[in-house]
């Protein structure tokens, strides 16, 4: 499903985001900023899936943090999820190193406890194509240098602690931190968001096969 981002909803009062059908552009999003762009797919919609999009950071300062993709059953910025004892989420986030480099991480929040895996460093001003996939408790992000998703640069993997049957309602095409030091800003865009629902892989032996 190719997404029309003009059908997604901005948090009321947003001043950092702008959308076309294919792209959400985020401009000078500061760490204390609380802003997001989301779509309600209905309760229990996203369980196992593949989501892909183009990601490009156009400018950055050190210690910036922002979330170009996230799934949750609640509407809130990332810090609100993290501070809660009941909220769950899956996410990819960017952490600014300096004006030229920014790190891409994969993570989850399970009842307010955040877990992140090691990162891949992106170059500011360069486009990357990202595929995020979940199958049960297997959660992976694949980072490519081309839109055809053929030149794989890196894979980050996380074994989820949330229940494998937990599905999500809200997809964020962008989310913010909502806390932290001011003056740590980042700009860029997410483009060509495409969504696929997948079926969990079930292992079986030849004795289970139907002839």
- Give the confidence band of 12 by pLDDT, cuts at 50, 70, 90: confident
- For the stretch 67-76, pLDDT in tens is 999 999 999 9
Tally of CA atoms within 13 A in the half-sphere of 180 that contains its CB:
22
d(CA 125, CA 75): 30
What pLDDT is recorded for position 210? 32
pLDDT digits (tens, 9 = 90+) for 101-122: 999 999 999 999 999 998 999 9
d(CA 174, CA 55): 11
Biggest distance spanned by C-alpha atoms of the chain: 65
> Which pLDDT score, from 0 to 100, does residue 206 have?
36
pLDDT of 130 strictly over 60: yes
Instruction: Read off the pLDDT of residues 156-178 as tens digits, 9 standing for 90 and up.
Output: 999 999 999 999 999 999 999 99
Contact, 57 vs 84, CB < 8 A? no
Work out whether strand 170-176 and strand 9-10 pair parallel, antiparallel, or are unpaired.
unpaired
Q: Can you list the alpha helix ranges (DSSP code H) found in 26-142?
A: 78-83
**CB neighbours (10 Å) of residue 103?**
15
Backbone angles phi, psi at 136, to 5 degrees: 70, -120
| Three-class SS state of 67 | strand
Distance of CA 21 to the CA centre of its chain: 19
Residue 151 has what pLDDT? 98
Residue 57 has pLDDT above 80, yes or no: yes
**76 neighbors 87 (Cβ within 8 angstroms):** yes
What mean pLDDT comes out for the span 138-143?
98
Q: Are 173 and 37 in contact (CB under 8 A)?
A: yes
Residue scoring higher pLDDT (178 or 200): 178
**Distances in whole angstroms, Cα of residue 123 to Cα of each of 36, 71, 127:** 24, 25, 8
Q: Is the distance from CB of 193 to CB of 21 less than 8 angstroms? A: no
């Amino acid at each position: 499903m190719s997404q029309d981002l003009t059908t997604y909803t901005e948090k009321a009062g947003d001043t950092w985001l702008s959308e076309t059908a294919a792209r959400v552009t985020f401009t000078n999003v500061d760490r204390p900023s609380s802003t997001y762009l989301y779509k309600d797919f209905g309760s229990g919609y996203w369980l196992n899936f593949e989501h892909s999009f183009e990601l490009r950071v156009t400018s950055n300062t050190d210690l910036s943090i922002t979330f170009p993709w996230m799934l949750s059953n609640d509407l809130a910025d990332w810090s609100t999820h993290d501070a809660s004892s009941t909220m769950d989420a899956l996410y990819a986030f960017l952490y600014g190193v300096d004006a030229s480099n920014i790190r891409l991480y994969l993570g989850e929040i399970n009842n307010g406890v955040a877990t992140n895996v090691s990162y891949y460093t992106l170059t500011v001003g360069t486009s990357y194509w990202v595929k995020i996939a979940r199958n049960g408790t297997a959660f992976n992000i694949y980072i490519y240098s081309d839109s055809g998703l053929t030149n794989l640069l890196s894979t980050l993997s996380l074994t989820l602690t949330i229940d494998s049957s937990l599905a999500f309602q809200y997809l964020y095409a962008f989310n913010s931190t909502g806390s932290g030091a001011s003056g740590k800003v980042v700009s860029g865009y997410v483009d060509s968001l495409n969504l696929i629902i997948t079926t969990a892989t079930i292992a079986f032996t030849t004795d289970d096969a139907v002839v």
